[in-house]
């Protein structure tokens, strides 16, 4: 069921300008060429209208793909099918974003799962144990480990991922709609009276290339922080905003050993390798709406 449309339903929809997704399958939009008298090359660009939908069974495989991307090399530790089914079991909560109509695969999604309500679900048990175990290994995440171990806390686990070429302007509407849906669910006495929201995300750090020196490009000045700790870069720029409203946040190392040279395969013609890391952000429910408003200001709202 369509819940919001980027352009075709002007009365209720968040308005997101058409963007260009060179890697996306072409929807009904037209192609245009970028003519430049100073360039010998023409670039084909695809105009894309984004549409927001409720999660629905047709999204099962698309959700599994996005969950696998979110969990990176640790994906095999989890039952992705069971997690996808759980997301689909609450179709009035959360969103998917598509570019070619309802029958197409989602290019992004956002949802929240109640860790307390679903604590008997084996897939949630595995995921909660994983989060608690990795939070307990890092001082910055100590509060997260404590909250996850508390029998009193009602933690909403926020899962969200999108393909790398999706514009960040799609994010504020997803969070805004999530807040609205939680409000409606609470009016219906649904179990979404959270005390905290835990956002599971991912970041990366640049590390020294493992390639022989003669295979490396000319070196540039390091982007390191100068404090011995590699600088953190964000796959999801909204995480930098959410952190400001959190009671705890930080990176953690994935448990699965990375293949030697994997970081070099992600260098994208830079002299540094790329090492992905897991990332957690814990926000008290009382500050979550404030965090979403700040996120909208930072990324730009699709209104």
Tens digit of each residue's pLDDT (9 = 90 or more) over 117-153: 999 999 999 999 999 999 999 899 999 999 999 888 9
Domain ranges of the chain: 2-26+45-218+228-292
CATH for the 2-26+45-218+228-292 domain, from 3.40.1350.10, 3.40.50.410, 3.50.50.60, 3.40.630.30: 3.40.630.30
Determine contact, residues 88/56, Cβ cutoff 8 Å: yes
The partner residues of 271 in beta bridges, in order of sequence, read: none
Looking at residue 230, its pLDDT comes to 80
How would residue 100 be classed by pLDDT, with cut points 50, 70 and 90? Answer: confident
| Burial of 36 from C-beta contacts in 10 A (0-12 / 13-18 / 19+) | exposed
Could you tell me where the beta strands, DSSP code E, fall in 12-144?
19-20, 31-33, 44-48, 51-53, 95-98, 108-114
Looking at residue 170, its pLDDT comes to 95
Cα separation, 111 vs 53, in Å, equals: 12
How many C-beta atoms surround the C-beta of residue 253 within 10 A?
A: 15
Give tens-digit pLDDT for 219-277. Answer: 333 334 445 578 999 999 999 999 999 999 999 999 999 876 554 444 444 556 789 99
Query: How many alpha carbons lie under 13 Å from residue 98 in its C-beta half-sphere?
Result: 25
Q: Residue 97's closest CA among 172, 45, 46, 32?
A: 172
65-94: burial string, b at 16+ Cβ within 10 Å, e else: bbbeebbbebeeebebeebbbbbbebeebb
Q: Residue 97's closest CA among 144, 44, 48?
A: 48
Sign of CA dihedral 174, 178, 184, 190: positive
Assess whether pLDDT exceeds 70 at residue 169: yes
Q: Helices in 89-170 by DSSP H: which ranges?
A: 122-135, 142-149
Cα separation, 231 vs 228, in Å, equals: 9
Cα separation, 287 vs 128, in Å, equals: 23
* 135: helix, strand or coil: helix
The partner residues of 70 in beta bridges, in order of sequence, read: none
Looking at residue 227, its pLDDT comes to 56
**Which position has the higher pLDDT, 8 or 129?**
129
Looking at residue 301, its pLDDT comes to 58
Give the β-pairing of 155-162 and 248-252: unpaired
Determine contact, residues 238/171, Cβ cutoff 8 Å: yes
45-73: average pLDDT: 93
Looking at residue 211, its pLDDT comes to 54
Determine contact, residues 84/63, Cβ cutoff 8 Å: yes
Q: Residue 287's closest CA among 245, 242, 254, 229?
A: 245
Cα separation, 232 vs 220, in Å, equals: 18
Looking at residue 285, its pLDDT comes to 98
């Amino acid at each position: 069921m369509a819940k919001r449309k980027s352009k075709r339903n002007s009365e209720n929809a968040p308005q997101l300008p058409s963007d260009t997704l060179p890697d996306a399958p072409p929807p009904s939009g037209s192609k245009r060429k970028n003519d430049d008298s100073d360039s010998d090359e023409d670039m084909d660009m695809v105009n894309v209208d984004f549409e927001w939908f409720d999660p629905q069974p047709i999204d099962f495989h698309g959700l599994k793909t996005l969950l696998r991307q979110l969990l990176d090399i640790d994906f095999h530790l989890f039952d992705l099918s069971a997690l996808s089914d759980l997301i689909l079991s609450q179709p009035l909560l959360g969103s998917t974003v598509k570019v070619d109509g309802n029958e197409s695969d989602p290019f992004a999604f956002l949802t929240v799962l109640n860790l307390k309500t679903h604590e008997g679900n084996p897939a949630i048990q595995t995921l909660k144990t994983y989060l608690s175990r990795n939070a307990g290994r890092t001082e910055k995440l100590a509060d997260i480990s404590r909250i996850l171990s508390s029998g009193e806390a009602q933690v909403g686990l926020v899962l969200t991922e999108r393909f790398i070429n999706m514009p960040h302007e799609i994010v504020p509407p997803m969070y805004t709609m999530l807040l609205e849906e939680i409000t409606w669910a609470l009016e219906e006495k649904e179990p979404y009276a959270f005390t905290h929201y835990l956002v599971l995300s991912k970041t990366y750090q640049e590390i020294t290339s493992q390639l022989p020196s003669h295979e490396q490009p000319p070196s540039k000045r390091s982007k390191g922080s100068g404090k011995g700790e590699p600088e953190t870069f964000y796959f999801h720029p909204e995480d930098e905003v959410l952190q400001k409203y959190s009671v705890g946040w930080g990176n953690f190392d994935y448990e699965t050993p990375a293949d030697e040279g994997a970081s070099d395969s992600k260098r994208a013609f830079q002299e540094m390798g790329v090492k992905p890391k897991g990332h957690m952000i814990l926000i008290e429910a009382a500050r979550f709406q404030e965090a979403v408003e700040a996120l909208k200001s930072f990324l730009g709202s699709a209104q």
